[in-house]
Structure 1
Amino acid sequence: MSLRPTVDFLLNDWLGVESLNQRERFADHSRETFDAVLDTCERIAREKYAPFNRTVDTQEPHFDGERVVLPQATHDAQKAYAESGMLSAAQDYAIGGMQLPYTVEAAANAFFAMASVSIGSGMLTTGNANLLMAHGTEAQKRVFALNEFSGRWSGTMCLSEPQAGSSLSDVATRATPDGDDFMNDPLGPRFRLKGNKMWISAGEHELTENIIHLVLAKIPGADGKLPPGVKGISLFIVPKKLVDADAKLTGERNDVALAGLNHKCGWRGTTNTLLNFGEGKFPVRGGAGAVGYLVGQPGEGLRCMFHMMNEARIGVGMAATMLGMAGYHASLDYAKNRPQGRPVGPEGKDPSRPQSRIIEHADVKRMLLAQKSYCEGALALELYCARLVDEQHTGAPEAADEARLLLEVLTPIAKSWPSEWCLEANSLAIQVHGGYGYTRDFPVEQYWRDNRLNMIHEGTHGIQAMDLLGRKVLMENGRGLQLLAQRINATIERAMHVPDMAVHGNALGQALAQLGAATKAAWATGNPAEALANAVPYLQAFGHTVLAWIWLDVALAAQASPESAARTGRLGAMRFFFHYELPKIGAWLAVVSQRDPTCAALPEEAF
């Protein structure tokens, strides 16, 4: 079973991505060039990634005392990815990019995530470079970003600290000016950093010539104290190896030291590290601490970093989606070929009849349909968000502003919904395999382990929920939520004119009304503690409403297509979601609307 027909349908029949070629930026492209990119990525993923997914899971990265060792397959895969040009796919021709729509880039990267998310591709490196293109100086773009886009160097994001975790206001890494001439360095204001960073993906390896760390730190005030809160956070470029203004390595190692590798449940092919900055293991001449270059203005580090974080959140959502999809394909193949049991007839089971394949059993079909509805729905959501990115960057001013605001509202859903429900799809894939699914003889247990990370990194479920209910639905006087409701209502209106779809349009309309009422009820007292006590159930209900909308919109496109097994499957998955999933929002929204205090009010000792 191939992913490609689903991608082609969503890009071309549903999103109409070829219409982007009418815009000046994409005028050189066509359906043929888009297909060629997808062909190339599908081939590299099939040849360089998929065969080694188990290898990178069992041959974990290890530190030999001098360097981190990764399997040769990882080196080969990363090289093939860089040579494909995908690191700079959306960049200008002038700097070696392809000027691809982000929608096509996201779809192409889906093949790598499905083949082996553990090997990884270029999400952090591209995000790092994109941030520098938006907020860096011309020298920082030329020296750091362009060498990341070429694959010569790779990039990370260094936010969390061992003592602070997700609480960025408690960041304790400090950055002090490096000498009296610190403002005169051609690479930007030069500082010395001291501190520790935790959970740094790809923080140490030998895959590229250099690693460019983007590090959040605070600049002490005149009294030597660090400023409180997130407003005192600044952003710095801290390369593993020092470079000059011509992007040449100076031969000197920066004072960035590996303190340890984290040994993970899954996603073992990518290193995850604790890094020490400025501990003195690799002292740099002229002072103490790791050399870093300020990005943007002091105190604006978190604003700059959100450029990368929001991009990474959509990337995490895509990774979760494709892990779910890999498990779905594996369990579908197993169900089609595994004989077990016999069908139940009017007189019960007849043991003299041959065994049935398990896909003939209703409950197995239920589990497969659930996976299909979660994973294909999530893929449609991620590509829809990618299409909004293109609209934000290349659309007319009003449309671009609407896309910006819709993305603000949908980003917590794009990250969190696949992380929860495509993980559930992986659990169902194990269940379809029965006892075999719980062994390492089949890949589905690894898919579940790899996917379990996605509810945690780039902002946990709880953080996404508070961001959605506490900020995104309120921002600009609720305009983003209003825009989303307008788009949902437009889909409902179209569905009401299609006899088979009207009942689902009505159900979605009722769900949207419930969601709107719950949003108001949550904030009825204006007390954030009461409103946010049940933010996660709100996130779940919001996500299910969005996915029901996405499925109805996809189904309208499928309804208009010729009769085929794929058409029947899409319409069946849509009906499953409306019958089995959408009704769940009632229970979630009930506690939100009542501002139920059960969880928040229970005293610690009662646990």
Structure 2
Amino acid sequence: MVAPLLSERDLEFLLYELFDAEAMTQRARYCDHNRETFNAALQTARTVAEKFFLPIRQKVDSEQPTFDGKAVHMIPEIKTAVDAVIESGLASCTADYGLGGMQLPEVVANAVSAYLSAAGSTTLGYTSLTNANANLISAHGTAEQIEKWVVPMRDGRFAGTMAMTEPGAGSGLADLTTSAVKDENGHYRISGSKIFISGGDHELNDNIVHLVLARVKGAPQGVKGISLFIVPKFLVNDDGSLGEKNDVALAGLFHKMGGRGHTSTALSFGERDGAIGYLVGEENKGLSYMFHMMNEARILVGTMGAVTALTGYQYSLDYAKERPQGRLLAEKDPSSPPVSIIQHGDVRRMLLAQKAYAEGAYALCLLGAQLSDDEKTAETEAERKAAHTLLDFLTPIIKSWPSEYGPKANDLAIQVLGGHGYINEHPVEMFYRDNRLNPIHEGTTGIQSLDLLGRKVPMNQFAGYQACLSAMEETIAIAKQSEALAGFADDLSTSITTLKTTTETVLAATQSMTVDAAFCNSVSYLNLFGHVVVAWIWLKQGVVADAALSSSPHKSDEDFYKGKLQAMAFFFRHELPLTHHWATIISDLDTTHFDMQEAWF
């Protein structure tokens, strides 16, 4: 069975009907583009995905990279596939023409990478993390650093990573111990250990550029004393040629539940004289610079969660249409032929839930990509500032909601296939394993929930919070003009009122109880806010679909738009009511789990 990686019609809807990507061509940066060039990039991505990644998907999963003490070894097809991405220009397709990029809008580039991720899973991390690394250095590095490190990353000669996590600190960056000492040449000598570094060592590129968080000797404790350094695997001579190996050693590979094509490494810096590092920006401001890459990576993680859910949905949908089994309850004749399992009510429930989760999540990620572009290229400073404010607020939700509900969709895909879903002859069990990492890395769901409730909501006099509420209320006002959508608009309005009241209650509680107790239900708050936001995203899709149906489209489009409206209705009727449960837990300031004592477990 060959199921489509993604729905082309859905991508067309999202790009050109919901987010109006063609309007981006009115901006100076994208004036060379049109719908045809966007579609050409999408088609190229699909071709590369189907030719180079899809045929090796199972092999990548079953034959993990190995380390023999000297070098990393992986199946050779991975390099062939990654090289195909680089040679096609897709590895950094948002970059400037002068650096070999396509200058695609980020919303289009996101859809381009979706095809590659759908077939290649985390193997695309080699190029996507390199691109994010290059973006950070481009934003905060010197002209010399850009020429020395960014240019070879853009053309695919060098790869890039982010090296933050340490064995003793984990997500607690304030406690990192990797040190940096300035030498007589003005460089820094880096010493310490980092773990879970994705793409930390391999032989796919000539060099690997690590962005390393470390503490300069004498720096303040906590996050205010963290600096950021460029630490290459190989030093680079003034003429651009590779020099001697830097004091960076691979200590070992981690063997993962999923996403096995992308190495996860333990790195040791400075086992001899200290690895040579080059300071980015100023000392003690490293974490603020790293957030440039971290926030980009968080949107990438959310997108991976959504795309993997979409791929699983497409596969289980195709299977359900083709698999005959059983008869409907109303059919009493045992000699009648079995029906396709998509005819059974519970299978339709599971498919519709997948559609609601996956398509809602991916539309949310594309909104994030569009906002990211708007904060850089919108026409006025006010528009750029507004986009930044909303994106900064939504980032914890964009990262966490798709990464939580993506695996839930993949779990349902397994269930649709039944016993066949549990065996590796079908890829849906692999999709689940690949997706299960996404709620963990780049800040766990718990960390994202504290960021949202404790930081993003009250930040800048609630500016991002109010911007989000205003954007949702604008959509509600439009939806209320449609008889078919007015009831859903009212439901979302009611949920927003509940969200506001709940927010006021929990923030006020910090005045009468410890912040740890008041915020102990922060994940429920994130669930509540995330569901309200995704309901808004579905209502936005519903507005477009409802308007399109009024113009009497042909049958295939009519079916597509009705499917959108049905998925919206499912989310509003089956998922949005859960927000009242979460709101009750939060507003009651329930501390049942917080009050549980260690000795009672």
TM-score band, normalised by the shorter chain?
A: over 0.9
Tell me if 1:376 matches 2:368: no
Q: Provide the C-alpha distance between the structure 2 equivalents of 1:133 and 1:45, rounded to a whole number of angstroms.
A: 28
2:476 maps to which residue?
A: 492
CA contact (8 A) 1:171 1:217 kept: yes
Superposition deviation, residue 100 in structure 1 = 1.3
Q: Which of these residues, 240, 252, 259, is aligned with residue 267 of structure 1?
A: 259
| C-alpha separation in 2, matches of 1:92 and 1:269 | 29
Residue 26 of structure 2 is aligned with which of 17, 22, 41?
22
Counterpart of 2:389 (choices 394, 398, 405) is 405
- Of 313, 318, 322, the match for 2:298: 313
User: Structure 1 stretch 91-100 or stretch 77-86: which is displaced more?
Assistant: 91-100
Matched, 1:123 2:128: yes
1:297 aligns with 2:282: yes
Deviation at 1:354, TM superposition (A): 1.3
**Equivalent runs, 1:240-251 vs 2, <5 Å:** 240-250=233-243
Residues 470, 528 of structure 1: 8 Å contact kept: no
1:342-384 alpha-carbon deviations (Å, 9 max, x no partner): 1011xx6432221111100010000000000111111111111
Q: 1:198 aligns with which of 192, 195, 199?
A: 195
Per the alignment, in what secondary structure is the counterpart of residue 459 of structure 1? coil
Q: Which of 81, 85, 90 is the equivalent residue of 1:81?
A: 85
Question: How far off its partner does 1:479 sit?
Answer: 1.2
1:95 CA displacement: 2.5
Residue 501 of structure 2 aligns with which residue? 517
Q: CA deviation at 1:390?
A: 1.3
> 3-state DSSP class of the match of 2:203?
coil
Per-residue deviation at 1:481? 0.9
For the residues of structure 2 that align with 1:589 and 1:459, how far apart are their CA atoms? 24
- Map of 2:308 onto structure 1: 323
Tell me if structure 2 keeps the 8 A contact 1:82–1:150: yes
RMSD: 1.1
| Alpha-carbon distance, 1:91 to partner | 1.9
1:525-604 equivalence runs, <5 A: 525-526=509-510, 527-561=514-548, 562=553, 563-604=557-598
Q: Distance in 2 between matches of 1:146 and 1:349?
A: 70
Secondary structure class of the residue paired with 1:524: helix
Q: Identical aligned pairs, as a percentage? A: 47
Contact in 2 for aligned 1:144/1:247 (Cα 8 Å):
no
Q: SS where residue 119 of structure 1 aligns? A: helix
Q: Secondary structure at the match of 2:239?
A: coil
Equivalent position of 2:177 in the other structure: 172
- Provide Cα deviations, 1:256-310, integer angstroms capped at 9, x if missing partner: 1111100111111110000000113xxxxxxx11110000100000000000000
TM-superposition CA deviations, 1:581-607 (whole Å, max 9, x none): 101111111111122111112111111
CA–CA separation in structure 1 for the residues paired with 2:221 and 2:419: 53
Q: How does 1:98-497 map to 2 (within 5 A)?
A: 98-121=102-125, 122-179=127-184, 181-182=185-186, 190-221=187-218, 227-250=220-243, 252-280=244-272, 288-345=273-330, 349-395=332-378, 396-497=380-481
Amino acid of the structure 1 residue aligned with 2:133: N
Structure 2 spans left out of the alignment, 5+ residues: none
Task: Name the amino acid aligned to 2:600.
Answer: A
**In the alignment, is the contact (CA less than 8 A) between 1:56 and 1:118 conserved in 2?**
no
The alignment of Structure 1 onto Structure 2 pairs a total of residues equal to: 585
Distance 1:82 1:516 in 2: 47
Cα shift readout 1:123-172 (whole Å, capped 9, x = no counterpart):
11001000000000111111101111111100000000001100000000
The residue type equivalent to 2:246 in the other structure is: N
For residues 242 and 368 of structure 1, what CA distance do their matches in structure 2 show?
52
**Partner residue, 1:187:** none
Please list every run of 5 or more consecutive structure 1 residues that lacks an aligned counterpart in the other structure: 183-189, 281-287
Q: Distance in 2 between matches of 1:48 and 1:294?
A: 38
Q: Is the 8 Å Cα contact of residues 171 and 443 (structure 2) preserved in structure 1?
A: yes
Normalised by the length of structure 1, the TM-score is: 0.95
Q: What's the CA shift for 1:104? A: 0.9
Paired residues of 2:99 and 2:155 also in contact (CA < 8 A) = no
Deviation, structure 1 residue 317: 0.6
- Counterpart CA distance in 2 for 1:88 and 1:245 is 25
Separation of aligned partners in 1, 2:70 and 2:508 = 59
